[in-house]
Structure 1
Amino acid sequence: MSSLRIGFLPASLSGASHTALRIALLYASVGSAWIVVSDAALWQTGAAAPGTALQTIKGLAYVAATGVALFWLVRHGCLGEERRTERLFLGNPSPMWIIDLDDLRFLAVNEAACRVYGYAEAEFLTMTLTDLRAATDRTELRALLAPLRTGGSHVGTWQHLARDGRLVATRVSGHRIDHDGHCAALVLAQDISAEVAARTAVERSEARFHQLLDSLDEVLWLADLEGRSLYRSRAHAEVYGRPLAEFESDALHWLRCVHADDRERALQAADRLRRDGQCESEYRIVRPDGSVRWLRDRKRLIYEDGKPVMQGGIAYDVTQRKAASEALKRLNETLEARVRERTAELEAVNDDLEAFSYSAAHDLKTPLAAIRGVGQLLALKHGGALGDTGRELLGYIEKGAVEMEALIDALLALAKVSRRELRCCANDASALARAVLGELSTRYPGTALHCEVEDGLVIHADPDLLRSLLSNLLGNAVKYSSRVAQPRVSFGRQPDSADSYFVRDNGAGFEVQDPEKLFRPFQRFHSEREFAGSGVGLATCRRIVLRHGGDIWLTSTPGEGTTVYFRLPGCSAAAEPAEATRGPWSEGRQ
């Protein structure tokens, strides 16, 4: 690379010898002039002593000798300075060059310039500065370099073109120098491509983030601790109905938009923000057109190194939610009133229906008793005249009346379940079940019934209704298992529950198709020829269980048996005695 010679004196760039010669000649000229002029003045005044001419020659010789010495000293110092400057120029890690300010030719470049831009030194020295500038920058180039010609400087950021066509972001600083007789500029170009790329990435990220924030319906904002706006999303304009500039220029503008009745609430929330670092509140705002909107406002302080540096928040427009809530509240109030009215109507209708059913069933017993009585009287007094056929027909009448009376009794029992007032207490269910099974065993004297009753079962319920429940369930179990070789009936508590129980048999069983239909009145699982019954037993059980706040369900398999489960959670708090109630069935046998 060619050598670079940068002058020692300010604003000059020349050879060391030239600079030293100028200084030496100046010194010699001034010294010689002083000696000649002063000695001439002495000759004119006649004050010159003998030998003055010799002294003048000696003085001039001294000036000449010291001038030569000064030349060599200055030249040596300038050469050292030039070498140091050359090393700084050539070895600088950033691109540097010297350009002619008249034609913008490159006069010198360093190795870093060749490395960054991809040109060889010889190529650089055939180029001008415009070859490195983008086409859009070239028209401004000479105007920007004009201050350098008058001794000024230039600092700016430019895009330079490298040999491979890529753009190099550069921060350029330059100042005027003299270089080998040229009006030139020394330029330092720092490659800031990474810095620009990072800044561009941050700006793009911020732009995308702001686009995302501006796309939200929520009001987002940031402010300093004094409330001066740093950022506000576009939702401000839509929600408040006011331009963003009003909020950015006035820190308390948001508060003036708050409804007068809610302003104190908003101020209290701001006090909590300063005290606790966060707050949440709801208030109304008034838009310029007079319309009112509800906002749910959440604010918090933002900390750095444990100290609050700014504040921010988000506000939701909850006007529709508030309106929906009020509408729902009014609807609930209306529905509650309607439900109460409808419930009262249904209760009245149910009471009337139950009263009618009870009265109808009760009144049917009198004509049934009359039918049975007439049939028995006819058989007693005129049985012989009726013959076998007549007596057989009277038997059918008697049997139908008995079955009808049993059905009426079942319906009356079902009606009583709903009409009677509950009297809850603790019952010894194990003893009660054994007593019921003892009574049932007398109805099937030829059956080798095996009964299993879990000990220690205490159920809180109405004692009469509990007995009716167990009588129906255990009665069905005994009835449907009476025709198997080894009938078995079990009663106990489910192992995974404290208030659920079961009654199980290994009898005929049936196909379960509609579980809800099983507990309706007059639903039969077998024909009357197979097993007699009224079809009201399970309906009665269901009503008893529901009155105690429980539930009942069953599983059954044809030929394997049936298991009925029921849950009785209620009445525990209403139990009257501390110990289980023991009724007349307590001493019953299994």
Structure 2
Amino acid sequence: MHSSTGSDTESDVRIRQQEVVAELGQQALETDDLDQLMHDASVAVAETLGNEYAKVLELLPGGEEVFLRQGVGWRDGLVGSATVPTDRDSQAGYTLLSEAPVVVDDLRTEERFSGPKLLTSHDVVSGISVVIGSVENPWGVLGTHTTEEREFTRYDANFVQSVANVLASAIENQRTKSELEEIYGRISDAFFALDEEWNFTYLNEQAHELINPEGLTLVGESVWELFPAATERAFKPKYERAMYEQETVSFEEYYPEPLDSWFEVRAYPSETGLSVYFRDTTHRKKREQELEKTERRFEAIFEDPNILVGLLDADGTVLDINQTAMEYIDADLDDVTGELFWETPWWGEGAEARADVREWTERAASGEYVDFEADLSHPNGDRYAINGVFRPVTNDDGDVVSVIVSDRDITERREYERQLEESERRYRTLAESFPNGIVTMYDDDLRYTLAEGRAFEYLPVSKEDLEGSTPYEVWGDDVGSRIDPALRDALDGEERAVEVSYVDRDWVIYAVPITDTDGNVFAGMTMAQDITDRKEYERKLEESERRYRTLAEYFPNGAVGVYDRDLRYTLTAGRVLGERLPTADELEGVRMPDVFPERTVADIEPLFRSAIEDGRTDNTTTEFGGRNWQVWVTPLRDVDGDIFAGLSFTQDITEQVERERQLEELVEKLEESNERLEQFAYAASHDLQEPLRMVSSYLRLLERRYEGALDEDGEEFLEYAVDGADRMRDMIDALLKYSRVETKGDPFEPVELDVVLDDVLADLQLHIEETGADITAESLPRVEGDANQLRQLMQNLFDNALTYSGDEPPRIDITAERNDGEWVISVRDEGVGIDPDGQDRIFEVFQRLHGREEHAGTGIGLALCRRIVERHGGEIWVESEPGEGSTFSFTLPVAGENDE
């Protein structure tokens, strides 16, 4: 211990005082001798402050007196025997009721209380007295006195209070230890005996309660078989040592499930085996472990340079403050130790802040955990903010014995949160207005923390689905695995872009890092934009360029050129360049009128200008180099639809012009030949019909005049002759109709097929009734054609269906189906059907599938049908199986859409 000298500086005195408190605190932790500690504390206080006397007064039961338990400087025989009254007028009584140290400058003039005989008999003048413990639960008084009049500083008073706090802690620890020892003393030991074979020979009731909760029969059973886990722990080697070496052993060990308990064991060897005394120490062990854990945790918190920690008495008096907290005020630890926490410099002079702290302390002292946040000021006026908690510390009885205050400086966090909030507000504003896409933010776990954007209007997910989820959970494994590397690269500070497909649309996703003011990445951001239209445009542009290049390079028998508004070629290509047209080098960069002769320019310049100026697509023909050329032009437009160039196609059509001329000559000759053939056919049929009519007339005359005069053979021959003449007449009529389909048909016009069908059914009414036919028809369309020829077409098909119906009454259906720009008309019957081998030739002239004995006919009807359909630009075909009926189908142009 150290004593004070007059030459010591105030700083040296305070340092020695702190050292004394630290030494006494260490002694309190290491010794169980409370009286020695009190004696040493008395000596230390007296020497450190340079006083003659020091005392430790213990409050006696009843609270009316305190007795001098330890002290220094007093006359012999007083320590351990002298008592002092504790009424309110006495110095001891006054001190027991004071939360702050009681400092007496001159006891002779003191008006607050009277000096006790113990002090006045020793000529005491000045001194300091403090309560040991709390005012609510005092243990006694620590005091130091001098015979000289002296003014003590507040550091001196705080020093005496700190020593009193050390004594109070030691007294409380001793009291707790005594209570534990008393509890342990009341526990009666469990006991069991083992023989030399390690079998149980006896267990008392307490032993059964501790190790045999299931009430099994243990006597006579092996301890190792009943408790196999004991062989793997200290039990077996310790017991064997006691048994084989005849030594008493003591140890503590844990036994696992089903006992799950700690045991304190003493094993004594005997002549017959082993006597084992043990007790369950599980509760004590857990308490020690919890206490050790708590102490380690408190030490870690107290020493944490990032946390402000204070230890308070339950009444709010400061017991200790860590160095981190002390750096926030302009004071030393001694300045605040012993002070009420809400009156310390941390809280300033504001009454409201101090009232809040006092309330928080009192609530914690009542057992409540109190979270708090406060805005404070440094000594230089700079503002800072803290956030923390007041935690109650309780004893085994649940009584609060102290309060721990721990808090952190959240000034930077507040500023960071403000900046982050502002940043998020900017990001959200950007995201909400982000066109044609979405913007997201995500954390280190790739979980979205923000999602906005107009694309949510047509996506199958909402922004609520994104926030809190990962890309895999929202977009699926395919898209998630595609964007995962880009998102992680952004968290590493890189910028990435990746293209994906989602819900049949193309997207480009940009992943970028988000950094704080120090440049550290704390999150990532993605901007996903729908590029479906752009990709489609790029695809079409690429395809267009590919087609153009292919067309330009392989354009048959011609060339392709691109020109600007001055009619200046910017690009030319084609196989005839350099042969029949100038080379690409001669054309590119040169205006079209400067390349070609005036006659050619006169033909094509208006065409070129109409494309670049008016947006027209057109073509014309011209001559150049002794050859004929076809020239097409069309405007080239950008994505906005504006014309930026013209495109020309030039093709050598010299051979085509010559072929067309030859073809025109050939067509003219064919038309003359057809006209002559038609005249011949008409004349021939007319000339054939006259003798045929004469033959028919005379044959019928013979038939009437000589009826009954001819024998049976004669009658038969005459019948054959008449039938042959009739069939010849029908064939001539049919041939005449066949030859006139192209030349004698009416001009095409809109025709209602329903009207045509009604006329046909009326013409065939007698045949329909004779056969008992059942005819059904859908509503038929309006087509472009020759009404008379269409009537002939449908009459022939219906007549065939009635004729070849077989033995059953005919069933005929007619339907119509639209196929692009034409109608498909189908006539279906359930007649005899047509063999597949004959289906190709039934539309030829004079081709019959049945003999004349089976069915009459000219063999021209279906050929005439095909001729009519072909004149209308259509096709006719049959689908049939023998015995299953036939379906004749033909196509006709939709009304108004035929282009002859």
TM-score range, shorter chain: 0.3 to 0.5
Look at both structures and tell me which one has the larger radius of gyration over its CA atoms.
2
Q: Is the strand fraction higher in 1 or 2?
A: 2
Q: TM-score, normalised by structure 1?
A: 0.42
Q: TM-score, normalised by structure 2?
A: 0.28
Query: Higher RCO, 1 or 2 (CA under 8 Å, sep at least 6)?
Result: 1
